[in-house]
Amino acid sequence: MAVSTEASGQAWRASRAGRAVRDLEPASFALVMATGIVSIGTLQLGPDWLSRVLLVIACAGLVVAGAAVIARLAFFRDSVAADVRAPDRVFGFFTLPAGLNVLGVRFALAGHPVVTAVLAGLAAAVWLVLTYGVPASLLLIRTRDSVVGAISGSWLLWIVATQSLAVVAATLVPVWPSQSAPLAAFAAGLWCLGLLLYLMVVALILLRWLSVPMTPATLTPPYWILMGATAITTLAGAKDFSLPAGIAVVRATAGFVEGFSFAMWAFGTWWIPLLVILGLWRHLPHHWPLSYEPALWSMVFPLGMYSVATLAFGTAAHVTWMEPLARFMLWVAVAAWVLVAAAFLTRLARHPAGPEPGAPAAPSSTSPIPPSSR
């Protein structure tokens, strides 16, 4: 019986499904993040039916990705360990707490704060492990003398996950007024942490851009998180300074948070044309193929987050012209979601669970280092 079970396990590992699980991207929850934030935007601005459909898809994506991650931990620990040691991939794990928190906020808006609290508790536990484990892995067990060449937009997922916790904490304040003071302090503290981490990581990204030649292979879609991280910082800030002024930490930080949140929104707006230019440079003169890659969800998420953050800040700060801009950007995000989803389904129809046996493995879509230079 044991021999039969072992043989079955080996057969599954060699199957298409097994290989797909083995090669799973650390950022596999980016689909949940992207779908969840567009669901939040359509819930707030309409149509409601689209929001509900996207919520179902996001929940299904969470279940499937969660099952795949558990299977990978059970059967392919070496692959997981390799991702932990890879500075160009390890930050992708932050999509798990970010995805949980985005869904948590969506459930809170639908009137299910208990679900939000459960998801936020799980996200906080994972975030706590990653927020110390990932920097420790870069400092103590890295395989290169320098990781400058491995810095990419995926590093900003650290900030997104941190600010997503701040958003959830602020969202739960009205639900549990007896815990409003610690929740508000938690939200404000995480907002400050995320802000400082953003400034640090952006400096590292600019260092990489100016010291390592840029190629179409290194200019990956996760660089859109440069804008997405500013957007979620704006959203978290808008929620923080909108909390009741009677809470001490809100009274002490509201002015600073509101002013710096607008600065982050302006900086994120500045990023959009530059990111479009860089994308055109990648695809037009250099003919980089327009095909599905999981990292494309990291481009959809910032667009949706920009819309939601613009609406939230405009409402909290009484800036009326922000609502039409939020509506426009929401439909940009919806269009981007539809295009990426169509590409994903096309890819899935052609390759149901990974490449054919013997097919060469594709390079990591989030990796900023060409395979030839690794």
Position 92 scores a pLDDT of 93
Distances from the Cα of 215 to the Cαs of 60, 91, 218, 274, 364, in angstroms? 35, 21, 5, 16, 15
Distance (Å, whole) CA 203 – CA 217: 21
Mention every residue, 6+ apart, whose C-beta is less than 8 A from residue 296. Answer: 221, 340, 343
Query: Which contacts qualify for 272-275: CB closer than 8 Å, 24 or more apart?
Result: 272/227, 272/306, 275/223, 275/224, 275/226, 275/227
For residues 181 and 187, give the distance between their C-alpha atoms in angstroms, rounded to a whole number.
Answer: 10
Q: Residue 370: what pLDDT?
A: 39
**Which pair of structure tokens corresponds to residue 46?**
């309409």
**Tokens (6 digits) for 284:** 């037009």
For 278, 286, 292, the CA distances from 282, given in Å and listed in that order, are 6, 6, 15
**Continuous segment of H or E residues that includes residue 323:** helix 322-350
pLDDT value for 353: 53
Residues pairing with 18 in the sheet: none
Please tell me the predicted confidence (pLDDT) of residue 324. 96
Q: Domain residues of the chain, as ranges? A: 23-350
Report the alpha-carbon distance of residue 239 to residue 247 in Å, rounded. Answer: 13
pLDDT in tens, the chain (374 residues): 555 556 555 665 666 777 778 888 898 999 999 999 999 999 999 899 999 999 999 999 999 999 999 988 888 888 888 888 888 889 999 999 999 999 999 999 999 999 999 999 999 999 999 999 999 888 887 666 778 888 889 999 999 999 999 999 999 999 888 888 999 999 999 999 999 999 999 999 999 998 888 888 888 888 999 999 999 999 999 999 999 888 889 889 989 999 999 999 999 999 999 999 999 998 888 778 888 888 899 999 999 999 999 999 999 999 999 999 999 999 999 999 999 999 989 888 876 554 444 333 433 434 434 333 33
Residue 199: CB atoms within 10 A of its CB come to 10
pLDDT score of 362: 39
pLDDT of residue 3: 54
Q: Which CATH architecture has domain 23-350?
A: Alpha/alpha barrel (1.50)
Furthest-apart CA atoms within the chain: distance in Å: 69
Cα 121 from chain centroid? 18
- Which helix H or strand E contains 201, and what residues bound it? helix 180-211
Q: Which amino acid is located at 150 in the chain?
A: A
Q: What region, left, alpha or beta, does residue 354 occupy, with left being phi > 0 and alpha being psi -120 to 50 degrees?
A: left
Q: Residue 7: its pLDDT value, please? A: 58
pLDDT attached to residue 138: 86
